[in-house]
Amino acid sequence: MAEEMRIVLRNLGKIDPLNIDEYINAGGYKSLEKARAMSQTEVIDEVKKSGLRGRGGAGFNTGMKWSFSYGIKTDQKYVVCNADEGEPGTYKDRIIMENDPQSLLEGMAICGYAIGSNQGYIYCRGEYPYVVEKLNKAIDQAKAKGVLGDFNIEVRMGGGAYVCGEESALIESIEGHRGEPRFKPPFPPVIGLWGKPTIVNNVETFVNIPAILEKGADWYKAIGASSYPGTKVLTLTGDVNNRIFVEVPTNTTIRQVLDDFGGGVAGGKKVKAIQIGGTSGGFIPESLFDTQLDFDSMSAIGATLGSGAFFVMDETRDIVDVVDRIMKFFEHESCGKCTPCREGTHRMHEMMERLNHGHAKAGDLDNLERLGTVMTKACLCGLGQAAPSPVLTTLKHFKPEYAAKLN
């Protein structure tokens, strides 16, 4: 039976999140002290050696990303935490920030020291005003204690745009512009916020940092899958008995999460599919449930780990109807900047709606697949590139359900 391992959630239920003294008594800010006794390159090398990869979706080596900004000589650099948790069914970052905000601040401050930055921003989802209040209280306490040194952190609130979960659109929003993705390259670690080198990591990534500095890269690298070490926080929703959040080593399988933590499918029904990673995640059939929850294993089956959302669907669910609703969401959330996404999401929803209501035209299934494939390559940002995934994976694994709705 799989067991939970709490690294990111290590302080959950153990300390008062709004009492910095309890955090310090639990060992808080010792990792920041340790980092400041090391050279900047030593800190970056330790993070790099740990194998920690971004927990926001792209899976890039965190230490490697930091090294890009460190190597640039400039008068200002920035550290940005992406807390714009906009994926339906995902609430892991909210749990972390509500219960252990100081760990986030410490992780950001370590990054600031490593790359040579004295300014950080937390970009928080607009629907989390109560979380913003907690973050600001935590920042005030950290300033009063002087634990952050000259590193300053401010909170910015999003306006509810899904696309601002993409790092360059988030940067545009902080600058006061419309949230739209930028053309890349250059990438944010080189030219980011206000044209300066900027590290953007998500909440879960930053909260891993103090533990890595405390216990060492070798300790962290030995946990979970070798290519994607550490743990992953998952949120279980849908047709599952236990709708919970859980943190597991990355060599845990999909089946183990469903059965050992989720308690199986609700109502004693059979499972049809699980969508992992949020709305843009692929639909995974039961035949692939023995796949490990690491970035590379998930990519190998055409899926993504993403935000860690774990949406379970039982045997009664209409796959075509579910995907139709998802494509309506993406049509609405497309920022419209690039044609492949603006027109692609509209046309995909149009075809899915026809299919769902029994009015499909000849060639719609082929056109859906062709259009989806083009979007994965031609769209400007991750929203458009990932939006076709629910369509493409269900066409691959659940095509008979589509065929049943054809005239």
| Per-residue confidence band for 232, with pLDDT thresholds at 50, 70 and 90 | very high
User: What is residue 24's predicted lDDT score, i.e. its pLDDT?
Assistant: 98
| Per-residue confidence band for 285, with pLDDT thresholds at 50, 70 and 90 | very high
The candidate with the shortest Cα–Cα distance to 303, out of 312, 292, 314, 313, is: 292
Domains of the chain plus CATH, in order, are 20-222 (3.40.50.11540), 225-314 (3.10.20.600), 319-403 (1.20.1440.230)
The candidate with the shortest Cα–Cα distance to 308, out of 250, 347, 356, 349, is: 250
User: What is residue 405's predicted lDDT score, i.e. its pLDDT?
Assistant: 87
Question: Does residue 399 contact residue 376 with C-beta atoms inside 8 Å?
Answer: no
Question: In Å, what is the CA distance from 65 to each residue of 53, 70, 177, 197, 213?
Answer: 10, 9, 25, 11, 17
Least confident of 246-255, 263-272, 312-321, 356-365: 356-365
Assess whether pLDDT exceeds 80 at residue 407: no
**pLDDT tens per residue, range 4-45:** 999 999 999 999 999 999 999 999 999 999 999 999 999 999
Question: What integer is the mean pLDDT of 314-336?
Answer: 96
User: What is residue 87's predicted lDDT score, i.e. its pLDDT?
Assistant: 84
Provide the whole-model pTM.
Answer: 0.96
User: What is residue 89's predicted lDDT score, i.e. its pLDDT?
Assistant: 83
**pLDDT tens per residue, range 214-224:** 999 999 999 99
User: What is residue 56's predicted lDDT score, i.e. its pLDDT?
Assistant: 79
